[in-house]
Structure 1
Amino acid sequence: MFLDEAYWTNRYNEKSTGWDIGSPSTPLKQYLDQISNKDLKILIPGAGNAYEAVYAFGMGFEKVHILDFSPVPIAQFKKSCPDFPVSNIFLENFFSHEGKYDLILEQTFFCALDPQLRKDYVRKMHDLLLPGGKLTGVMFAREFAHEGPPFGGSKEEYSQYFMPEFEILKLEPCYNSIPPRQGSELFVQLRKN
């Protein structure tokens, strides 16, 4: 399966967006609620409709950035959030993106990538984070019967990917998942080594 820009644009055009919950993810919303330093530079890759970015920006995080390589959600986001700085919106491939961030939020991006790209994902996340920067979010703690996306995995598998490049601060069952995902997500917080 070739998960290129055309594939994702087609999914948006067909409104086949099962990952889109229509609001910020509860684990990320509650995580953002705990951060007092509003000066953090934040990236949300594979942001889609970017509900977490809208929420963070509304809370005073002015350096929140979104990235997606499908023009459809980017255009929708610009229309629905006209006050969001255009300079903080990137229409590009994650693996080509250049920048340095204090925090990267993971929400249904990792599970959308071909599993063969997981090592590349880890390296790119490491490159994009400033020293001591964090990668925080949720990942599926289950396998899927269908051919993905989404692609699942396990705590043990994720540990093997991340351990060389990151200190694992949290990799545990998510207690505040949305009801349809209860018991099938891990809350992940990793710090760049």
Structure 2
Amino acid sequence: MPTFNQAYWEERYKNDQAQWDTGTVTPPIKEYIDQLSDKTKRILVPGAGNGHEFEYLVTQDFKNAVMLDIAKEPLANVAKRLPELDAARLIHADFFEHNATYDLIIEQTFFCALSPELRDAYMTKAHSLLAPGGKIAGLLFDFPLTEQGPPFGGSREEYIALFGNLFKITMLHRAYNSIKPRAERELFFIFEKK
């Protein structure tokens, strides 16, 4: 199994091997963002890749949204698309070493791109980054967990077992408005920090 470090991800982006990139904000996350009324929320989009969800947050005037990625290439891509954006909102860092406080974490393909042995660490780190009552929301893949990836799969039952101790499972259901290649393979979720 390859080491999913900065060099690995840089290579994937440089060689246009980001097959998970939809080229735009995905419908389930767009619909969720459209329901958020508080534009001052502190929002993190980790492992954001080419940052379509983050870009949508910016265009919807969420002033305290930031994106984080371990690879520089996708951050540079976002900077080109949003030349007026404050560069401080594009964080080049390892998610597991990042320290700040957020009201919301938007999850789009990052969790399922991590080696499965990092899932406990992800859940613990996400919990530590959230303010009391903070939420993590987005999409998780719903197909059998394999050693082939990324992406790596998972199931509703696995996610409940993993997140249930530190988070209230507010919502976890099959996304009805996934893009066609992901139809019947995504779960939309909202988990609230306990």
TM-score (norm 2): 0.97
Tell me, what secondary structure is at the counterpart of 1:147? Answer: coil
Tell me, what secondary structure is at the counterpart of 2:13? Answer: helix
Tell me whether 1:157 sits opposite 2:158 in the alignment.
yes
Tell me, what secondary structure is at the counterpart of 1:73? Answer: helix
Alignment of 1:99-138 (within 5 A): 99-138=100-139
Tell me whether 1:64 sits opposite 2:35 in the alignment.
no
Tell me, what secondary structure is at the counterpart of 1:15? Answer: coil
Cross-structure match for 1:38: 39
Q: Do 2:146 and 2:152's aligned partners in 1 also have CA atoms closer than 8 Å?
A: no
| Distance apart, 1:100 and its partner CA | 0.3
Q: Do 2:4 and 2:115's aligned partners in 1 also have CA atoms closer than 8 Å?
A: yes
- Match for 2:81: what amino acid? S
In the alignment, the residues of structure 2 paired with residue 127 and residue 142 of structure 1 have an alpha-carbon distance, to the nearest angstrom, of 28
In the alignment, the residues of structure 1 paired with residue 144 and residue 9 of structure 2 have an alpha-carbon distance, to the nearest angstrom, of 21
Alignment of 1:175-190 (within 5 A): 175-190=176-191
Tell me, what secondary structure is at the counterpart of 1:31? Answer: helix
Q: Residue by residue, what CA displacement relative to the aligned partner does 1:39-76 show, whole Å, maximum 9, x if unpaired? A: 10100000111111111111110111000010111111
**Alignment gaps of 5+ in structure 1:** none
Question: Deviating runs (4+, > 3 A) in structure 1?
Answer: none
Cross-structure match for 2:56: 55
**Alignment gaps of 5+ in structure 2:** none
| Distance apart, 1:25 and its partner CA | 1.1
| Distance apart, 1:146 and its partner CA | 7.0
Tell me, what secondary structure is at the counterpart of 2:91? Answer: strand
Tell me, what secondary structure is at the counterpart of 2:153? Answer: coil
Q: Do 2:55 and 2:78's aligned partners in 1 also have CA atoms closer than 8 Å?
A: no
- Match for 1:168: what amino acid? I
| Distance apart, 1:84 and its partner CA | 1.8
- Match for 1:67: what amino acid? L
Alignment of 1:71-110 (within 5 A): 71-110=72-111
In the alignment, the residues of structure 2 paired with residue 146 and residue 19 of structure 1 have an alpha-carbon distance, to the nearest angstrom, of 17
| Distance apart, 1:145 and its partner CA | 6.6
In the alignment, the residues of structure 2 paired with residue 176 and residue 190 of structure 1 have an alpha-carbon distance, to the nearest angstrom, of 19
| Distance apart, 1:143 and its partner CA | 2.2
- Match for 1:141: what amino acid? D
